[in-house]
Structures are given as structure tokens and as C-alpha cells.
Amino acid sequence: MTRFRLIVEYDGSPFIGWQRQPHGASVQQTIEEAVEAITGERAVVHAAGRTDTGVHALAMAAHVDIAKTITAFRLSEGLNALLRPLPVAILAADAVADDWHARFSCIGRRYVYRIVNRRAPVTLDAGRAWQVVVPLDAQAMDEAAQRLVGLHDFTTFRSAHCQSASPVKTLDRLDVRRHGERIEIEAAARSFLHHQVRSMVGCLYLVGRGKWTAGDLEAALEARDRAALGLNAPPDGLYFAAASYPDEGSPRPNSD
């Protein structure tokens, strides 16, 4: 039995999320069916995170155990051939130790949220960014975002369906940067609550509009009450960007 680490890129638009569900197509199910077609084995693919419906991934880390003798290169090539034309790609694959786990070995996760701030209709980024037609003050958003960095009770920014044992998390970084008409919000932490990033972004949007101040954002945090949330941003602009592990960074693409 060999454990393979996979780095997966996907457009979440046609999926109900990462996790296999009985009522729709998921990214996990799609990859597992491709693994079975190649190996004849019904394997489970574990991921570093569980993205929701419509959320994307630039580099989701995952792993799968396979009994069949196969190289990482042949596995990734075979999976990519079977995954076409669905918007899922295996960017890299390598064999890892049996005790390496995509979720439990992960020591850091990074998300990026993309906003297109313009009046003209979005074409190339349709479904892959949140279009905001009114001007946003990205500097005010970034200054307010720093109020959320650190160890806090993030109950206000937590979905009612969140299964985390505690609402207390340490947010390592929350940066807002403007690049022309595009605004990117980057969040980094060991782990996140369900909807935490989208909820933080929604409230930062209110700051950018001038409807909230940094003090209002901090007050919402201190309320520890979901009712104090200003807005939950749509899933379109959210990307799982990277997972980090104690041993190294992301694996490189393989070749024979």
C-alpha cells in the first residue's frame, strides 16, 4: 500500500463542495471515481480542507492510499486524463510516509478572496470573483482587518452549522491589497471555522463601503454572536490557496 499526496486545483462552480454528498457531485467523489477507474480500488481521498459549494482551490492538498503498483507520475497523468473535461486538475503527486495525513499533519492553511471592484460586467472572472460595483476603500479594509488578527473567539464569524469543537482560533494574517480594479484578501491560520473567511470578508466589505468603521468590526468580533455579523460574502471569490506541513512546502510535478 502506498500513500500518495496530491495537489489539486479546481473550479468549485459545478460542485456541491469538496466533501462527498448523497445529493450532488463533489470534488472528492470525482477524484475517487477516477482513482477507482485506474486502480480498481475504492479508495478515500482525504483533503486538508473542506470547501463549500462554489468555492475554488488553487492548491488543495490531499492524500489517497493505493495498493496497486503505480508511479506518482502515472497516477497523476491517469487522473488528469479521466477528470477531463471537468474543471479539476492534479497539479502534482508524490509518495509520502504512511503516517502523513493531508488534514491532521497540516500546520497552516491559507485562503484568498478575490473581489472585482468595477461597474462593467465581469466576463473572464464570472463565478470566480465577487463583483462589487461601488468603490471600496481597500486601505480602510486592510487597517480594520488587523483588528481580527490574533487569538479570538470568532463566534460572530462562525456558521451555525460549524462542527468545530471551539470558536477560538488564532488568525495569523488577514491582509487586503488592491491591484487596479482587483482586491485580494488573504487569510492565514492553522485552521478556520466554517464560513469564517467569507464572514470576515463580508464585514470588511462594509468597512470598504464606509458603512462600518474598524471599531464596528471589532465590536462585532467582541459580541461573540452570529446576529452581530454584517454580511456573509458569496462563495464565488473564495479560494483555498495552500496548505503547509512541517516537512516542506508543496511537492513538485513528477516525471518518469
Catalytic residue among 11, 52, 98, 172: 52
248 confidence band (pLDDT: 50, 70, 90): low
Are the C-beta atoms of 7 and 45 separated by less than 8 Å?
A: no
Q: What is the mean pLDDT of the chain?
A: 95
Final residue in a domain of this structure, among 80, 105, 130: 105
Final residue in a domain of this structure, among 50, 84, 105: 105
- The per-residue b/e assignment along 156-184, b for 16 or more CB within 10 angstroms, e otherwise, is bbbbeebeeeebebebeebebebeeeebb
Q: Cβ of 59: how many Cβ atoms within 10 Å?
A: 17
**Domain-located, residue 251:** no
Predicted model pTM = 0.93
Residues 122, 205: one domain? yes
Give me the domain span that covers residue 135: 108-242
* Per-residue confidence (pLDDT) for residue 22, from 0 to 100: 87
Read off the pLDDT of residues 89-141 as tens digits, 9 standing for 90 and up. 999 999 999 999 999 999 999 999 999 999 999 999 999 999 999 999 999 99
Q: Could you give the dihedral angle defined by the CA atoms of residues 42, 46, 50 and 55, in that order, rounded to the nearest 10 degrees?
A: -70
**Domain-located, residue 73:** yes
Read off the pLDDT of residues 197-215 as tens digits, 9 standing for 90 and up. 999 999 999 999 999 999 9
Q: Label residue 180 left, alpha or beta by phi (over 0 means left) and psi (-120 to 50 means alpha).
A: left
**Domain-located, residue 250:** no
Task: Decide if 52 is catalytic.
Answer: yes
Give the count of domains, the chain: 2
